[in-house]
Chain A
């Protein structure tokens, strides 16, 4: 596939892919990579500087930051991947139904989507997470649900455009029933755009979870979430800045990875749309 070739030639995209793989590996191999128990507190070594024992230092409870960052990657990846799946599933179903069927269903769905998208992004997520309650799973669900309106709108737009093409017209005239037309002609053309969107969504999902946890409304202690670590590190910012800043770096690296991959995919799949010309 020439798209893959184009992707391969894009150095930034490959770097992004490497970062994403790093994230996946870290998350999967966390128990083996972490040198210390991420929850083990040590009152003597509170706020220890990065050094021989604690490679990235210790936090305000004496826990090894590096180990916590490594375990934090699990939360980030979990939220990133699962929330995307939720958003895609919901968005595909609603968007296709609205775009293909049209009529009142389309109107209703789009009104609701419009209203939900009228909220600034953080507020909507805050509302959902506040309703569901704190915790990793709820946060994941909240981010996923938060993503459904945007995906719905995107899918609907694609489906609407494709519905009017002559391919769909020919298929319908030849007698193909709606589900078959969707399956063979519409969805395959919606998917590439969706893949790009999904990758960039994962980047935003990680940022969003970090923000929610930072505010104290997402993942709860003692689970290691990067956002939460930054938040608690604030208390000791003036004396031990590394506690708050190191986890944030991890967030940035992960998000950067997904952004690069997403950009690369977009350029590879439709060269006309490149932003990185």
Chain B
């Protein structure tokens, strides 16, 4: 049964405080129908609290949550019709797989015949039909998760919420389940929110990622944009690896900024952000955006080569600037091994667009 349309979810300036601690601060997100959004961030960033606000377990201090444009803040959790899959699955331990899936339907007073039919259908969907009479403790982790998902989907929720559902699974299984959930989400056209601290998971599963830090959303964009064009220093550091080089902006325009690096180079960084002259800045360059040269140049800085480690098709270089800042550089190996010793000159690749951010003010 494929649904025709999903539901939109709007989070408007939601703030939530626990006593003197602000867990979520002025978060606004507009989730499109049928879209899966990941709330990504380190622990304590507020992503789980936000999820609980959407689910209705917590009444937020300020702001509003709307489903299909209508506010749901006044509705308790059991009337919001959201499906939720927990990290621990929270399967009812004394009920069989079939009964677990049937729970929500029975709670809504659906007729017994229809309940059976729906349960059978969803058992099919998650391929657990033969295990319908097992108890949760007799199932493997992956199977338990599929039951949890089926249980959440059986009631045809408006929004599907997933709270770090894959963290309890081992690596191989994790990828399978991520694909499975994405497939189900697409099949049913469900609007979904996935909470995770694993960026690989967010990158592969989500249509858009909301990177959260200390209660705020630092960037809400597609995985590619979040990686290629991080909006803040935090995002650039959190997503993928990056090298941070301090420096000063000399001149700035809408096309690019001339930067003088403390490491001893003067170069132009392309981008539309402008900086006041003399402002301290940080250059955030990904390992694949740097390259090594044998000869110096104005836009290159001196580095000491410490290690060169082969990693698959690439070589990872461990470098140190003249001030001792460690840099990581990745380049395709192309067969010949490189000796890792002595000095070299490091610069940006011609087509690279690294991030440039103001230095955060001292606290």
**Do A and B interact directly, with beta carbons closer than 8 Å?**
yes
Evaluate whether A167 and B103 lie within 8 angstroms (CB atoms) in the complex, with A175-B78, A175-B108 already known. Answer: no
Evaluate whether A171 and B86 lie within 8 angstroms (CB atoms) in the complex, with A176-B78, A177-B78 already known. Answer: no
A-B contact count (CB 8 A): 59
A186–chain B nearest beta-carbon distance, Å: 13
B84 contact from A165, A170, A178, Cβ within 8 A:
A170
Interface positions of B from 104 to 155, Cβ below 8 Å from A: 104, 107-108, 151-152, 155
How many A residues face the partner with a CB closer than 8 A? 15
B76 on the A face (CB < 8 A): yes
B316 on the A face (CB < 8 A): no
Write out the residue numbers on chain A whose beta carbons fall within 8 Å of the beta carbon of B103: 171, 174, 176
A2 on the B face (CB < 8 A): no
B55 on the A face (CB < 8 A): yes
Main secondary structure of the interface of B (DSSP, over half): mixed
By the criterion CB–CB under 8 Å, are A169 and B78 in contact?
A: no
How many B residues face the partner with a CB closer than 8 A? 24
**Cα distance, A165 to B104, chains bound together (Å):** 18
B223 on the A face (CB < 8 A): no
**Cα distance, A174 to B56, chains bound together (Å):** 12
By the criterion CB–CB under 8 Å, are A176 and B107 in contact?
A: yes
A21 on the B face (CB < 8 A): no
A173 on the B face (CB < 8 A): yes
**Cα distance, A183 to B338, chains bound together (Å):** 70
Write out the residue numbers on chain B whose beta carbons fall within 8 Å of the beta carbon of A171: 92, 103, 107
Evaluate whether A167 and B77 lie within 8 angstroms (CB atoms) in the complex, with A173-B83, A176-B107 already known. Answer: no
B358 on the A face (CB < 8 A): no
B30–chain A nearest beta-carbon distance, Å: 23
By the criterion CB–CB under 8 Å, are A166 and B107 in contact?
A: no
Evaluate whether A166 and B90 lie within 8 angstroms (CB atoms) in the complex, with A173-B55, A174-B103, A174-B107 already known. Answer: yes
A151–chain B nearest beta-carbon distance, Å: 26
Write out the residue numbers on chain A whose beta carbons fall within 8 Å of the beta carbon of B56: 172-173
B155 contact from A169, A174, A178, A180, Cβ within 8 A:
A174
By the criterion CB–CB under 8 Å, are B84 and A169 in contact?
A: yes
Evaluate whether A167 and B76 lie within 8 angstroms (CB atoms) in the complex, with A174-B107, A176-B103 already known. Answer: no
By the criterion CB–CB under 8 Å, are A174 and B104 in contact?
A: yes
By the criterion CB–CB under 8 Å, are A172 and B86 in contact?
A: no
B81 on the A face (CB < 8 A): yes
B212 on the A face (CB < 8 A): no
Looking at B84, B152, B155, B161, the one whose CB has the most chain A CB atoms below 10 A away is B84
> Per-residue 0/1 for B71-103: is the Cβ within 8 Å of any A Cβ (1 yes, 0 no)?
000001111111110101010100000000001
> Per-residue 0/1 for A156-173: is the Cβ within 8 Å of any B Cβ (1 yes, 0 no)?
000000000111011111
Write out the residue numbers on chain A whose beta carbons fall within 8 Å of the beta carbon of B77: 169, 172-173
Write out the residue numbers on chain B whose beta carbons fall within 8 Å of the beta carbon of A166: 86, 88, 90
B169–chain A nearest beta-carbon distance, Å: 17
A221–chain B nearest beta-carbon distance, Å: 53
By the criterion CB–CB under 8 Å, are B86 and A175 in contact?
A: no
Looking at A166, A167, A169, A174, the one whose CB has the most chain B CB atoms below 10 A away is A174
Write out the residue numbers on chain B whose beta carbons fall within 8 Å of the beta carbon of A167: 90, 92
B57 on the A face (CB < 8 A): yes
A177–chain B nearest beta-carbon distance, Å: 6
Evaluate whether A172 and B90 lie within 8 angstroms (CB atoms) in the complex, with A177-B107, A180-B107 already known. Answer: no
Write out the residue numbers on chain A whose beta carbons fall within 8 Å of the beta carbon of B79: 175
**Cα distance, A167 to B151, chains bound together (Å):** 13
By the criterion CB–CB under 8 Å, are B151 and A174 in contact?
A: yes
**Cα distance, A185 to B80, chains bound together (Å):** 20
Write out the residue numbers on chain B whose beta carbons fall within 8 Å of the beta carbon of A180: 107
By the criterion CB–CB under 8 Å, are A169 and B57 in contact?
A: yes
The chain B residue with its CB closest to the CB of A166 is: B90
**Cα distance, A197 to B97, chains bound together (Å):** 34
B355–chain A nearest beta-carbon distance, Å: 38
B39–chain A nearest beta-carbon distance, Å: 17
A185–chain B nearest beta-carbon distance, Å: 8
Write out the residue numbers on chain A whose beta carbons fall within 8 Å of the beta carbon of B55: 169, 173
Q: List 22 A-B contacts (CB under 8 A).
A: A165-B90, A166-B88, A167-B90, A169-B55, A169-B77, A170-B84, A170-B86, A170-B90, A170-B151, A171-B92, A171-B103, A172-B76, A172-B78, A173-B80, A173-B152, A174-B103, A174-B104, A175-B79, A175-B104, A175-B108, A175-B155, A176-B78
Contacts beyond the supplied A171-B107, A173-B83, A174-B107: 18 A-B pairs with Cβ under 8 Å: A165-B90, A166-B86, A166-B90, A167-B92, A169-B86, A169-B90, A172-B76, A172-B77, A172-B78, A173-B78, A173-B152, A174-B78, A175-B78, A175-B79, A175-B104, A175-B108, A176-B103, A178-B78
10 A-B pairs with least C-beta separation: A174-B104, A166-B90, A172-B77, A176-B107, A170-B90, A175-B107, A173-B84, A166-B86, A172-B78, A167-B90
